[in-house]
Every structure is written in structure tokens, then in C-alpha cells.
Structure 1
Amino acid sequence: MGFCVDDYARAAAPVRWDDIDLTVFRDRPLSPGTLRVLRYMCDVESHTVCYLRDLLVTPSHADPEVTTFLTMWNYEEYWHGEVLADVLSAHGVPTGSAHVREVRLRQGWRDKLAPIKQSVIANLVGDDFVATHMSWGAVNEWLTHAGYTRLMRIENHPTLTELLSRIAAQETRHIAFYATQARERLGRSSRAQRLTRFALARAWQPVGANVMPRAEVRHLVGHLMSGTDGDKAADRVDSKIDTLPGLSGLHLVRRRTESLLRA
């Protein structure tokens, strides 16, 4: 069976963490490297509404299934940011509206031009842009899920593992939508395949790379995707990208992460 957007919309909900005692981090705090990664992840999850703003000026806004999903996706991603913010707060790391505002204002003129640039390019491309959007989303969600999984294994902290497992379970539903849409749309348009392959090969970067400082992007990649286990995680995501029509052989994640690690 395909992905049922109506079922997803009815089931979408904030990830639950009110039953988890975050004071355990006082006696067993997370490592500084992991906290830095969580800061990155929290900032990116909290930035989702800005990505949504840019997408709503593209042909994606005309598809009711896509907009229903995006509404609930944005809602769930908001709460992912809140969970991570509470973990950071438990370690004395500043969070809240003032920090989120700072991250958004830091984007400067790029933030002001982003929806204009996105609108012009996407509407010139037309409906095939939606295939690119769905494929891009699938790649990002696959990588996000891989990142949470890697962080659980690296830190091996029971409380963090429980929290990230709950977030990852919701990300799995997000993956299902994006990947299903991408396969269907790429499968019926060779032009969409060419456009998507070109866009990913030329412009895709790890999630949040266009928002976070370069040093933080390199730290994230180094913490999660370096070494033998990191290489294997990157290859697993690349193997999933290979299953999308017209996108095999890109080696996208491995190439981008290796490039960042060399920088």
C-alpha cells in the first residue's frame, strides 16, 4: 500500500517526552561533542518553518496531498526542536525564542532572497520541480535519521537513546512520504529525473549546511560520519538514493561528507 496522507494527518502529534526525567543528565551529562551536534540539530529542526515558507512559493503548494503533509511535517519538526532544546537546557546550554531569532537573523540577505530565488527557479521548471523537492526531502530525511541513529550509538546514553528513538520514529514516517512521492514522480518523467539528478549533484549539501556556520557543519560531519562506521552510514544513505528512478550512482552523501572532512 502507498502512503496515506489522511491517515498521517490524523496521527501527527508532538513527540512525547514528558514521561522522561531529564535531570538524569546532571549525573551523566552528554559529551561536549554530542552537545554541539545537538545544538546544530535543534537549530535546524527549529528552522523548518523557514524551509516551509520557501516551498510554499513553488509548484508544490498546488498539490493538496503535499501541502497536507508539509503542514503536519512542520508541526512535528517543531516539537523535535523543542525536545532537543530541553536536553540542551538540562546541560545549561541557552535555548528559547531569543536564540531561534538570532539564528534566523544571522541569515541576513540570503534569507530575504531565498523565497524569491526559489519561486523563480521552481516556477520556471514547472511541475517537475515537485519531483526534485520530494527527492531532496527524501535524501534529507534519510540523512537526518542516519544522524540520529549514529548519535545514539556514539553516545550510548539510555535517556538520549530513548528521546532520539522517538524522534527517529516520526522521521521514518516523513521518509515514507517523501520517498513514495519521489519514486512516483521520477518514475513517470525522464525530465524530472534529469532535473533532479542535476540539482542534487550541483547543489545538495548536508541538512542545515545553508543555515549553520561552516565550522559547525564540519563538526557535525566529523562527529557523525567519519571513520569506518561513518562511511558505512553514508553508504547506506547513498544506497537508498540509488533506489530512486534516475538517481543511481550519485554517491551523494559520501562525496559531500568526504569533501567537508577534507576542508
Structure 2
Amino acid sequence: MSAATGFDVRAYMRDPLQLRPTDLDLPALGDLGPAALEALTRLEAAERALLHRMRDFLVTPTHAESRVTAFLTTWAYEQHWLVQTLGAVLAANGRAAGEDRVTALGRLRRARDERLGPLLGAVSSNLLGADVTAAQMITSRLDTEVLADSYRRLGAAEPRLAATTGAAVQLKERHLAFFTAEARARLAAGPGARRLARIAVSRWQWPGTRYVARGTRTRPAAEVRAALLGLDQGSEGGVAALRGPSGTRSVRTALARIGRG
């Protein structure tokens, strides 16, 4: 389980990082400014959305990948507590977490997508075969990198959140190490994996853009642009190590396209 790529999955599973609401001095994190609260709201929605998307991965050929499924077991545990912690900070500031602010129309659309989306995705992914895992690993890497970047910038902008965002970055860096190692190994395996990865990157969307408080399934373009400010340079630099085997030169293009709305 800890072979080939150099990431020790067993060691990771033995030592999960737990960022829990009880670890924080929540009263001291009350009365945050509007910009910090908006960033936290966006991050909570994004992290929650990743939990849904990883669940969908497991109805594709990836479910047969013992190394990936073992990692995702601990990843989901860490992710659950991260979402709970972000929600607790929002609650300390009188703001409901994104899941609780969805309208009735949003809930109906979500129910439809959650029932049909995994089924349709599973059919198409199973037709594509194991190469789909490469695409999932590289888009997960991209998700993780831009979120880690967001936590770093939020901690710098709001010192009261520095300890919390620092812990989130530490958690994300471990996730990033796994997705980077897996993506590199799988993209080197053959042209089919690289082709699917290029398609996936070209369609990549900022994590958490599907569901927002207004009950729609697409976050407004202006809000996405605000979330992406300054991220293109960091993400392009981080993905550069994968450019050789994957041909993912379109990462910056994908970010720019989303930023234009």
C-alpha cells in the first residue's frame, strides 16, 4: 500500500490530522471582518463539495484501487472535521454554513444531481476504464493546491485565523503530496491517461462552485473571479512538475477561463 509513488499510505492512515472545533478559542474568533467571513464561507462550501465529489469517485473504476481507497478513508475523516471546524467559526460569527443556507429550489436541484450525477458519471467512467483515475488524481491535486493557497492568504490577511489556517495548510500539504505522487505515476503510464487528464483539467472548476446559498448550482462569475485573485501564479508553479508526463499546460488556461466567468 505504500510502494511505487513514495507516499506512505499506511503511515498517513495511522496518523490523521484532526482539526476540530474544540481545538479553537471560538469566542476569540468572533466579530471577523466581512472579507474574512466571505472567504471562510467560500472555503467551507468548497471543502464540503469535495466530500461529495470524492464519494462519486468511488463508483468509478477507482473503487478497485486499494491504495487510493485506503487514502480516501482517512482523507474523508480529516475532511469531515475540517468542514465542521470552518462551520463552527462561521457560527461564532452568526453566519450559517453553506449547507444550511441552500434554498428549496437548490435542494431540489441538488437531490436530482446527487441521484443522477453519480450514476451517469459511473457509466461513462467505467467505459473509460482505469485511466480515469489519472484524471481524478490531477484534478484533486488542483483542488487541493488552490485551497491551500487560499488558506495561506486568509491567514496572512486575518492574524486571528493564522493558527486555524496554518493547521488547514498542514493538512492540505499531506493531501497534495499524495495526489501529486499518484498523478505523476498514473500519467506516465500511457497516452490514454494523459488524454483524459488534459480533458479533465480543461473542464476543471473551482471547488464548491456547484452549490451556493441562493439555491443555484453555479457560483456567480464575479464571486469566482474574487476567489481566484492571485491563484494562477501559485497553481501554475505547483503543477509545473507534472507538465512533462501529463501535458497539463492548460492549467493556467483553465484558471483564466473560470476567472473570466
Same fold (TM over 0.5): yes
Aligned to 2:223: 219
Counterparts of 2:259 and 2:84, CA distance in 1: 29
Q: Is the 8 A contact 2:45 2:99 kept in 1?
A: no
Counterparts of 2:228 and 2:56, CA distance in 1: 28
* Matched residue SS, 1:44: helix
Deviation per CA, 1:207-246, whole angstroms, max 9, x where unpaired?
A: 1122335445632531x433xxx1xx31221122232122
The correspondence of residues 117-136 of structure 1 with structure 2, limited to 5 A, is 117-136=120-139
Question: Residues 261, 62 of structure 1: CA spacing in aligned structure 2 closer, same or farther, 3 A cutoff?
Answer: closer
Q: Is the 8 A contact 1:136 1:200 kept in 2?
A: yes
Counterparts of 1:79 and 1:179, CA distance in 2: 23
Alignment RMSD (CA, Å): 2.4
User: Offset of 1:97 from its aligned partner?
Assistant: 7.4
Aligned to 1:241: 239
TM-score normalised by length of structure 2: 0.86
**Is residue 2:117 matched to residue 1:114?**
yes
Aligned partner of 1:205: which letter?
Answer: Q
Question: Residues 242, 52 of structure 1: CA spacing in aligned structure 2 closer, same or farther, 3 A cutoff?
Answer: same
Aligned partner of 1:249: which letter?
Answer: R
Q: Is the 8 A contact 1:152 1:161 kept in 2?
A: yes
**Is residue 2:258 matched to residue 1:255?**
no
User: Offset of 1:194 from its aligned partner?
Assistant: 1.4
Tell me whether 122-131 or 9-18 shows the greater mean CA deviation.
9-18
The correspondence of residues 28-177 of structure 1 with structure 2, limited to 5 A, is 29-95=31-97, 98-99=100-101, 106-153=109-156, 155=157, 157-177=158-178
Q: Is the 8 A contact 2:6 2:181 kept in 1?
A: yes
Aligned pair count reads 250
Aligned partner of 1:83: which letter?
Answer: T
* Matched residue SS, 1:211: coil
Deviation per CA, 1:138-167, whole angstroms, max 9, x where unpaired?
A: 1111111111112222x2x22211101101
Counterparts of 1:14 and 1:123, CA distance in 2: 34
User: Offset of 1:75 from its aligned partner?
Assistant: 0.9
Gaps of 5+ in 2: none
Q: Is the 8 A contact 1:241 1:247 kept in 2?
A: no
Q: Is the 8 A contact 2:224 2:259 kept in 1?
A: no
